Amino acid sequence: MKITASAPGKVILFGEHAVVYGKPAIAVAVNRYVHIKMGERSDNRIHVQTPQLGVSGYLELEDETIKCENNHKTGILSYILRSLIIIQNETGLKFEKGLEIVLELEIPIGAGLGSSAAVTVATLAAAFKYFKQEFNRDKIARLAHQVELEVQGEASPIDTTLSTFGGAIYLSPETGEIIKLNLDWDIPLVIGHTRRESNTGELIKTVRSKKEKYPSLINPIFESMEQITLEAREALTRKDENELGELMNFNHGLLDALGVNTPVLSKMVYLARESGAKGSKITGAGGGGSIIAYCPGKKDEVLKQLKKEEKAFPIKISGDGCQVDEI
């Protein structure tokens, strides 16, 4: 039996970090995916390979450990391990035979583009199929969020929701709203990727300790971020290009104030604006990772300039969400 599953990455347009504290965020799934192939082995071990990253190792579900073969950080393998454990607990079924899992990534890892959520969602979808369970996106999204919480310590449900369902969403953890946004226009977005990995869990912790130390300063930042997201939702429906750009720029300034900016991110953000982007900001956790630039009519120019400094690529919203198949 061979199973394939895929799940898209995401970009947060507005509200990262604030969303961890219940504030709303707007994010879109993007046309860059994680693909998983899952097949049985003749022994009873679970082996994962990620050819592009050069990371491979054996997962021990019993004692919940990872034996990396090449002295790498366990990183992405931890999400696969937790997903397989959670699936066993959820279904009451056990992996009786060994598995060979091959991971292919169209998304750089640690780039703020939701690679860990996409890996988790794709693993869960493949494992449900392996156990011949029905394909239930709500269940996958719920368990994937649980996996992120277990591995990272803290996480909002935004990445896992988008990787599961695709499309564009407005999500407000405080009010429990997850609203699908019907964006019927091609939003011209470019990613600038700094090639420096960031650790979402660590960045969330840094922001939390700032919030605890300076609540009277940090809480209003989150309130402003909330207002930005609310206004951005309106601006998106009105297709108000200028306002969307301005709101992104405000949001970036506030992320900088939270301390998740870096000199390279900053350079790319301003370079994008100088090259004609209406707005640009960090996307995701920051501390490395990526920026997003909103560039109506200027996509090629922004891409060209960003590529001179770091990596850059255009993205489109993906309506697909996770997919699974048996071959």
Active-site positions read 159
In the bound state with ligand MEV, the residue whose beta carbon lies nearer, of 27 and 324, is 27
Site for ligand MEV, residues 65 to 124, rule: CB under 6 A: 112
In the bound state with ligand MEV, the residue whose beta carbon lies nearer, of 114 and 188, is 114
In the bound state with ligand MEV, the residue whose beta carbon lies nearer, of 106 and 159, is 159
Phi and psi, residue 19, nearest 5°: -65, -25
Q: Which of 34, 81, 101, 155 binds ligand MEV (CB under 6 A)?
A: 155
How far, in Å, CA of 275 to CA of 297, rounded?
11
3-state secondary structure labels for all residues of 104-118: EECCCCCCCCCHHHH
CB of 120 to ligand MEV, least distance (A): 12
Residue 171 is a binding residue for ligand MEV (CB under 6 A): no
Residue 285 is a binding residue for ligand MEV (CB under 6 A): yes
Do 140 and 119 contact (CB within 8 A), yes or no?
Answer: no
CB of 91 to ligand MEV, least distance (A): 26
Q: What is the DSSP letter of 317?
A: B
Whose CB is nearest to ligand MEV? 156
How far, in Å, CA of 8 to CA of 221, rounded?
30
Residue 226 is a binding residue for ligand MEV (CB under 6 A): no
Tokens representing 235 are: 């601006």
CB of 66 to ligand MEV, least distance (A): 22
How far, in Å, CA of 135 to CA of 155, rounded?
24
CB of 158 to ligand MEV, least distance (A): 5
CB of 200 to ligand MEV, least distance (A): 5
How far, in Å, CA of 51 to CA of 70, rounded?
12
Residue 229 is a binding residue for ligand MEV (CB under 6 A): no
In the bound state with ligand MEV, the residue whose beta carbon lies nearer, of 9 and 296, is 9
Site for ligand MEV, residues 10 to 29, rule: CB under 6 A: 12, 16-17, 19-20
Give 10's strand partners: 29
How far, in Å, CA of 191 to CA of 315, rounded?
7
Sequence letter at residue 51: P
Site for ligand MEV, residues 177 to 216, rule: CB under 6 A: 200, 204
Residue 158 is a binding residue for ligand MEV (CB under 6 A): yes
Q: Which of 6, 33, 140, 159 binds ligand MEV (CB under 6 A)?
A: 159
Phi and psi, residue 185, nearest 5°: -135, 155
For ligand MEV (CB under 6 A), the number of binding residues is 14
Q: Which of 108, 284, 287, 321 binds ligand MEV (CB under 6 A)?
A: 284
Phi and psi, residue 16, nearest 5°: -60, 155
In the bound state with ligand MEV, the residue whose beta carbon lies nearer, of 13 and 312, is 13
Q: What is the DSSP letter of 211?
A: H
How far, in Å, CA of 140 to CA of 161, rounded?
9
CB of 285 to ligand MEV, least distance (A): 4
Do 166 and 117 contact (CB within 8 A), yes or no?
Answer: no
How far, in Å, CA of 226 to CA of 222, rounded?
6
How far, in Å, CA of 293 to CA of 304, rounded?
13
Residue 34 is a binding residue for ligand MEV (CB under 6 A): no
Give contact residues for ligand MEV (rule: CB under 6 A): 12, 16-17, 19-20, 112, 155-156, 158-159, 200, 204, 284-285
